[in-house]
Each structure stands twice: as structure tokens, then as C-alpha cells.
Amino acid sequence: MKIQAAVAESTGARITVEELELEDPGPGEVRVRLVATGVCHTDTITRDGDLPLPLPGVLGHEGAGVVDALGAGVEGLSVGDHVVMGWPHCGKCRNCLRGEPRYCALLGPAVASGARYRGPLEGSSGYRRADGSPISGHFFGQSSFATYSIADATSLVLVDKDLDLKLLGP
């Protein structure tokens, strides 16, 4: 599907809005229609090269939105659910099993590889330019500087539909 996304082209460059092609969610993934997202210093230091996300790429890691589509194997979420997007985790490593997913053994690739970090699509990006070339996405498991995002299902927190998503992104 075609989306609008804020793309960091290269280290230190201005972030510009661009039309991209977003793949359907794969196993364990959810497509989210973004309603709000925060801007954090982590986004700016990544654009400036201090966090090694391969550029060009789509940043953003404080999103809130509505579930639009589910990939295979996703449980506990439905299309139309309201969610806040957090950090992904594998759920299987020692730290995850201890209830400390923030310290997941796969945290590095999950937040800053620019690609899916596990499963059959590991190493691929779901974000493409009009010419078909892939660009980095999946930043902190979400790349929320876009109209739609593919998020790892582990990074989503279901919220009450009565809450204003515009206030939940930051």
C-alpha cells in the first residue's frame, strides 16, 4: 500500500516527506494506521548518526494508532483496536522470560537494524521507494513517522477506545 513517511535520507540531512510502498504485515506483525507520534531526541541523534540505523530510513518510535491489518499468528489484537506502540522484544530470551523485555537479547537489531529482526522475514524491510528499492524501517519495531506502519505485535499495547490517541503518541 502507498503511505506517506518522513524519511531521513542521510546523516544530518533534513527529514522530508515521501511516498513509499508498505508491504503487508508478515508473521507476528501488525499494520497500524498512525494517529499520533512523538518526536524524541533518539530520532534526532539517529538522523545525526549517533545511533547506527542504516539511512535512508523512516524514524519514529512513540506512535499511537489503530490496528489496520494482522499478520499470521498474531493473537490478542483485532482490526480496529487502538494501540500504543512501544519497544519490541523476542519473548524467548533469558531477559524476556524473567519479565524484563526492555533488556531483550535482540534489542539491538530490534530497534536499529532498519529491518525485521526475527522470523521468516528477518533482515528484510517492509518499506520501499517507488523504484522498488528498500529503505530502512522497523525503527524500534515501528517507524511511526508515517501514515501507516508495520509494527512487531510484541511492541503494541491495547488501549481503551475512549482515550484520545492524539494524546497517547508522545
Question: Which CATH number characterizes residue 11's domain?
Answer: 3.90.180.10
94 by Cβ neighbours in 10 Å (0-12 / 13-18 / 19+) ranks as exposed
Q: What is the CA radius of gyration of the chain?
A: 15
pTM score, whole prediction: 0.93
Would you say residue 16 lies in a domain? yes
What whole-number distance in Å separates Cα of residue 137 and Cα of residue 48? 16
Would you say residue 169 lies in a domain? no
Would you say residue 94 lies in a domain? yes
Would you say residue 168 lies in a domain? no
> Would you place residue 44 in the very low, low, confident or very high pLDDT band (cuts 50, 70, 90)?
confident
DSSP string covering 72-109, please? TT--S--TT-EEEE-----S-SHHHHTT-GGG-TTHHH
Average pLDDT of the chain is 93
Would you say residue 170 lies in a domain? no
What whole-number distance in Å separates Cα of residue 41 and Cα of residue 116? 23
Residues 80-134 pLDDT 10s: 999 999 889 988 999 999 999 989 999 888 889 999 988 889 999 999 999 999 9
What whole-number distance in Å separates Cα of residue 168 and Cα of residue 126? 25
Structural domain count of the chain? 1
Residues 104-114 pLDDT 10s: 999 888 889 99
- Buried b / exposed e over 2-19, threshold 16 CB at 10 Å, is ebebbbbeeeeeebeebe
Would you say residue 56 lies in a domain? yes
pLDDT of residue 39: 86
DSSP string covering 8-58, please? E-STTPPEEEEEEEEPPP-TTEEEEEEEEE---HHHHHHHTTSS---SSEE
Q: What percent of the chain has pLDDT over 70?
A: 99
Would you say residue 165 lies in a domain? no
pLDDT value at 40 more than 90:
no
End-to-end CA distance of the chain: 26
Write out the residue range of the structural domain in which residue 21 sits: 2-160
